[in-house]
Structure 1
Amino acid sequence: GREYLLARVLFFTSRNLPLEMCLPAFPCKSSNPEKVTGTMPDRGEELALRRLHQVLRQIKEVYPPGAFICIISDGHVFSDCIGVDDDTVDEYGARLIALNNAIIQQNRDLVPAVRFQSLKDIFFLDPTDALARELALPEVDHFIATRLCEDSEFCRQVLQLSCQPDSNAVRDQIVAQDAAMLALYRGFSRFMLEDLALHPLAQPLSRKQKKKLAEKVSFEMMLRNQAYSNLVELVFPDHIRLSIHAHVNTGPKFGITLFDRAVTRVVDSLDLTADSLRSPETHDLLHIPTPWHNCVAQLADATTTTTFIASSKVVQDAVLSGNLHGHWVEGDVSKGLGRYFEI
Structure 2
Amino acid sequence: MPPTTTAPDPLTTTRISTAILNLLLPHHRTTDQPHAPAEAFPHQLRRIADFVRADAPVVLTLPGFPCKSPNPAKTLGHLPDMGERLSLTFLDTLCAEIEEIHPPGAQVVICSDGHVFGDLIRVPDEHIDAYADELRAQIRKLGLRHLTVFDLRDVLGDLPHDAKRAHVHDRYAPALDALRAEVRADAPTLALYRGITRFLVEDTADHAGSTRSALQRECRRRAYGVIQRSRAWGRLIADHHPRAVRLSIHPQPVGAAKFGIRLLDAPDVWTTPWHSVALREADGGWTLMPHARARRLGRLVHRDGRPSHYERA
TM-score, normalising length from structure 1?
0.74
Indicate the residue corresponding to 2:277 in structure 1. 295
Aligned residue for 1:31, secondary structure, equals: coil
Cα gap change, 1:60/1:338 in structure 2, threshold over 3 Å: closer, same or farther? farther
- Say how many residue pairs are matched: 273
**Percent identity of equivalent pairs:** 32
Q: What is the rounded CA distance, in whole Å, between the counterparts of 2:61 and 2:189 in structure 1?
A: 24
Report the AA paired with residue 192 of structure 2.
L
Unmatched 5+ stretches in structure 2: 1-39
Aligned residue for 1:23, secondary structure, equals: strand
Cα gap change, 1:83/1:5 in structure 2, threshold over 3 Å: closer, same or farther? same
Q: What is the rounded CA distance, in whole Å, between the counterparts of 1:251 and 1:290 in structure 2?
A: 21
Displacement of 1:219 = 1.6
Displacement of 1:30 = 0.3
Indicate the residue corresponding to 1:99 in structure 2. 138
Correspondence 1:212-291 to 2 at 5 A? 212-259=217-264, 265-266=265-266, 280=267, 282=268, 285=269, 287=270, 289-291=271-273
Q: What is the rounded CA distance, in whole Å, between the counterparts of 2:68 and 2:199 in structure 1?
A: 15
Aligned residue for 1:203, secondary structure, equals: coil
1:15 aligns with 2:23: no
Correspondence 1:184-203 to 2 at 5 A? 184-196=192-204, 198-199=205-206, 202-203=207-208
Displacement of 1:329 = 1.8
Q: What is the rounded CA distance, in whole Å, between the counterparts of 1:180 and 1:164 in structure 2?
A: 19
8 A Cα contact 1:71 1:117, kept in partner: yes
Indicate the residue corresponding to 1:143 in structure 2. none
Aligned residue for 2:246, secondary structure, equals: strand
Correspondence 1:106-145 to 2 at 5 A? 112-124=145-157, 126-127=158-159
8 A Cα contact 1:45 1:338, kept in partner: no
Indicate the residue corresponding to 1:327 in structure 2. 299
8 A Cα contact 1:26 1:75, kept in partner: yes
Report the AA paired with residue 262 of structure 2.
T
Whichever structure has more helix as a proportion of its residues is: 2
The match for 1:167 among 176, 188, 191 is 176
8 A Cα contact 1:44 1:292, kept in partner: yes
Report the AA paired with residue 231 of structure 2.
Q
TM-score, normalising length from structure 2?
0.81
1:208 aligns with 2:189: no
Aligned CA-pair RMSD: 2.1
Aligned residue for 2:71, secondary structure, equals: coil
Cα gap change, 1:178/1:55 in structure 2, threshold over 3 Å: closer, same or farther? closer
Unmatched 5+ stretches in structure 1: 105-109, 128-149, 260-264, 267-279, 319-323
Displacement of 1:3 = 2.3
Q: What is the rounded CA distance, in whole Å, between the counterparts of 1:204 and 1:228 in structure 2?
A: 33
Cα distance per residue 1:81-111 (max 9 Å; x no partner): 122100110011111111111110xxxxx6x
Displacement of 1:228 = 1.5
Q: What is the rounded CA distance, in whole Å, between the counterparts of 1:173 and 1:251 in structure 2?
A: 16
Aligned residue for 1:68, secondary structure, equals: strand
Q: What is the rounded CA distance, in whole Å, between the counterparts of 1:255 and 1:83 in structure 2?
A: 26
Cα gap change, 1:257/1:184 in structure 2, threshold over 3 Å: closer, same or farther? closer
The match for 1:36 among 63, 67, 75 is 75
Aligned residue for 1:38, secondary structure, equals: coil
